[in-house]
Amino acid sequence: MSTLGRKASVARYNRESLISDDLIQSINPEVYQRKYVFEVAWEVVNKGQSFVSITFLHFISNFIKMTSLNITFFLLVGGIYTVIRTKAASAVEELGDRYILFGPLNEVCMRTEVDVAEPTNEALKRTVKAMREHGTKVVFGRWLIEGYPNVVLFDIGSSAWRIDSWKKELWESCNIGIPVHDTECNDAVIFGALVAWFLKEVSELVLD
């Protein structure tokens, strides 16, 4: 694919993301080939569970703003289930295994929609291992849709015991308070924290 075609393709499925077209156009093709594209959405391998939380968006964006890492992560906050499935093939064609989807673990959907496997990329493998060693259930595999994209699924329940510390961090970093009995917000905090944790771990390994 030509450089022009590559940039146009990337811009197409970043149109509703946090990345401007100007930034896409400024990327050196050689640098671009070393970048990961992570798409984060509640609807990844989670049909019928559409959920968008401003708490989750704040937590992730706040992590990125506070992180002074010399590596670029394209964080795309995805849309509904059908939209994600539709664009996955184009994303994989363009980016290959550098395109990775993050979602919450839905055991029922996972059993029928994911070819579970261990990551072959060393940084991803070590990150998954590190999180598992700290008690978080993480499933890695290929989503059985067109394009066969990589997915990382986080079991929210396995990390629920960390909720108080993550709420404290959220409050101290961006002054967002979470009601004790608000299940949706609590789930968003846990999911957002797990995504941020994964990105931090893998970025440090890539930089080593």
* CA 78 – CA 170 distance, rounded (Å): 22
Q: Is residue 25 part of a domain?
A: no
Q: Is residue 6 part of a domain?
A: no
Q: Is residue 177 part of a domain?
A: yes
* Pair of tokens at residue 97: 């295994």
- State the pLDDT confidence band at 158, using cuts at 50, 70 and 90: very high
Q: Is residue 2 part of a domain?
A: no
Q: Is residue 85 part of a domain?
A: yes
* Greater pLDDT, 178 or 14: 178
Closest among 78, 83, 87 to 16, alpha carbons compared: 78
* Pair of tokens at residue 152: 């990382």
**154: containing domain:** 32-207
Report the chain's C-alpha Rg in angstroms: 17
Rounded to 5°, the CA angle 66-197-144 comes to 125
Q: Is residue 10 part of a domain?
A: no
Q: What pLDDT, in 10s, does the model give residues 199-208?
A: 989 888 875 5
* CA 50 – CA 71 distance, rounded (Å): 31
Q: Is residue 190 part of a domain?
A: yes
Angle between helices 183-207 and 54-66 (to 10 degrees): 30
Tell me, what CATH number does 62's domain have?
3.40.50.2000
Q: Is residue 97 part of a domain?
A: yes
- State the pLDDT confidence band at 82, using cuts at 50, 70 and 90: confident
- Among 108-117, 135-144, 167-176, the range scoring the smallest mean pLDDT is 167-176
* Greater pLDDT, 140 or 169: 140
How many domains does the structure of the chain reveal?
1
Highest mean pLDDT among 71-80, 127-136, 167-176: 127-136
User: What percent of the chain lies above the pLDDT cut of 90?
Assistant: 35
Q: What is the mean pLDDT of the chain?
A: 77
